[in-house]
Amino acid sequence: MSQQHSAADPAPTTTTLARRRDWWRDAVIYQVYPRSFADSNGDGMGDLAGVRSRLPYLRDLGVDAVWLSPFYASPQADAGYDVADYRAVDPMFGNLLDADALIRDAHELGLRIIVDLVPNHSSDQHEWFKRALAEGPGSPSRDRYHFRPGKGENGELPPNDWESIFGGPAWTRVADGEWYLHLFAPEQPDFNWEHPAVGDEFRSILRFWLDMGVDGFRIDVAHGLVKAEGLPDLGGADQLKLLGNDVMPFFDQDGVHEVYRQWRLVLDEYAGERIFVAEAWTPTVERTAHYVRPDELHQAFNFQYLSTEWDAAELRAVIDRTLEAMRPVGAPATWVLSNHDVTRHATRFANPPGLGTQIRLAGDRELGLRRARAATLLMLALPGSAYVYQGEELGLPDVVDLPDEVRQDPAYFRGAGQDGFRDGCRVPIPWTRDGSSYGFGSGGSWLPQPAGWGELSVEAQTGVAGSTLELSRSALAVRRAQPDRGAGDAVEWLRAPEGVLAFRRGEFVCVANTRGESVTVPAYGRVLLASGELTETDGEARVPADTTVWWTTG
């Protein structure tokens, strides 16, 4: 039978928070999507007071930091990623006093707070953009965005052939005939980072939130700020296929790195090891490494890992490439399986490979959960920092059968570009077995939760041996207690059957069986944790299909 052991360190305190250096190199960071986490006032929408009330749960789960998706003042055209005021909290989430209280409580509990920052674009309701529209062509205010005259006899055609990530042209024409650039929704005009006022403003925004006490920033579309000179056409190329696979005139331009060098100077003015995390979709992990050079950002999301199928050979290849790419710049690798923009991996792994990161099929849910549990242990065994998306610790699947009339993803309504099914991973998480929203709040939830959601809840899984929640808690406790938990930049691969990953890190050994059948491997020592039942006899271990095991040889 499987054996489970945990040896948790004492809960962190503000003293250990201040003392621990380089915390971000092996941190486990939990992403909270505020509108779907906890609702304090019963309006069906999660809020900062709700997040604050659940901080003890996150402390007890064993994470090191909490990343909050945007809660700024916004018309909510793209779930808060269209910011109207970067120094204000949207009333739907509370106010600045709520933000201050959340940050203070988190620090008292030994948790760090990372906030989202959206520097590529603003809302079309931002004061700068409203002023640019009002002042007209040729005004200085328009230079803070990308306004251009159109092509064609009467300027009736867009200035170039760029397409929006959400589908359709990346340009919208205004009443006076000029066009403005928006790589996402029309309500999200792109800033012109060649204009010095834009850089000045964002350095001021950084200081505002650093003075509030935040411990870092996750940078949305970190690869998109700088556009190629002259905004050249792509010449009819299939832009969707190029995304993340090639350098494009509006993504991953070399000029973006000077922006982050300036930002790093600001961050380094503050004590306490504050950090930057880049959302940077790049063609290769080698180019991702450019964002985390010593004088730029600290971490960058590993989208190559997130996009990898549950396959031993593919996983080993991306692990090796990631570690090799990060080593020369001295940055930690990051590992992530799910977030608010992609189908949860419990559903991705339940479906045939090749469907991408946005899927509208439930698949084999039992298979998906088994693989998700195994993938979690594999991820947490790797050197570097790991990210956990809210509900991942419960084994939540995507809600794939949402009625079309309740969907709110702007990409869904554009009819092209992204698949537009991100709502499925944003359904509010369940806290209790019963209630109008399974403990999310007293007034229902902004996206409907499926029947049976309560059986996956925190209440239903707490204290239940073998539940996904207790597996997650044990994994995080063991990771914290083991000296070889997340630090370092290398693994020692061990011989293993085809379809099996096996590696050693000091006295720690991890074996992940990605095959659909059990395999026999050496029993490497004392079992720390296993995602499924296994048997050990005569120095060998029988590892079931889609199962990961942790051993210690010490």
> Using an 8 Å Cβ cutoff, are 45 and 92 in contact?
yes
Q: How far apart, in whole angstroms, are the C-alpha atoms of residue 421 and residue 406?
A: 11
Select which of 220, 273, 409, 423 is catalytic: 220
Select which of 200, 229, 258, 269 is catalytic: 269
Three-state secondary structure readout of 283-347: CCHHHHHHHHCCCCCCEECCHHHHCCCCCHHHHHHHHHHHHHHHHHHCCCCEEECCCCCCCCHHH
Strands 540-543 and 535-537: antiparallel
Among 299, 296, 367, 370, residue whose Cα is nearest residue 335: 299
Spell out where 12-170 has E strands. Answer: 28-32, 65-68, 72-73, 85-89, 112-117, 147-148
Between the alpha carbon of residue 332 and those of residues 10, 69, 376, 386, 511, the distances in Å are 25, 22, 18, 10, 22
What is the full DSSP assignment across 492-535? EE----TTEEEEEETTEEEEEE-SSS-EEEE--SEEEEESS--E
Please confirm, yes or no, whether 220 is among the known catalytic residues.
yes
Neighbouring CB atoms inside 10 A of 366's CB total 9
Neighbouring CB atoms inside 10 A of 185's CB total 24
Q: How far apart, in whole angstroms, are the C-alpha atoms of residue 106 and residue 462?
A: 22
Q: How far apart, in whole angstroms, are the C-alpha atoms of residue 528 and residue 6?
A: 7
Please confirm, yes or no, whether 366 is among the known catalytic residues.
no
CB hemisphere CA count around 509 (13 angstroms):
17
Among 400, 343, 298, 372, residue whose Cα is nearest residue 532: 372
Among 59, 63, 26, residue whose Cα is nearest residue 381: 26
Which residues belong to the active site?
Answer: 220, 269
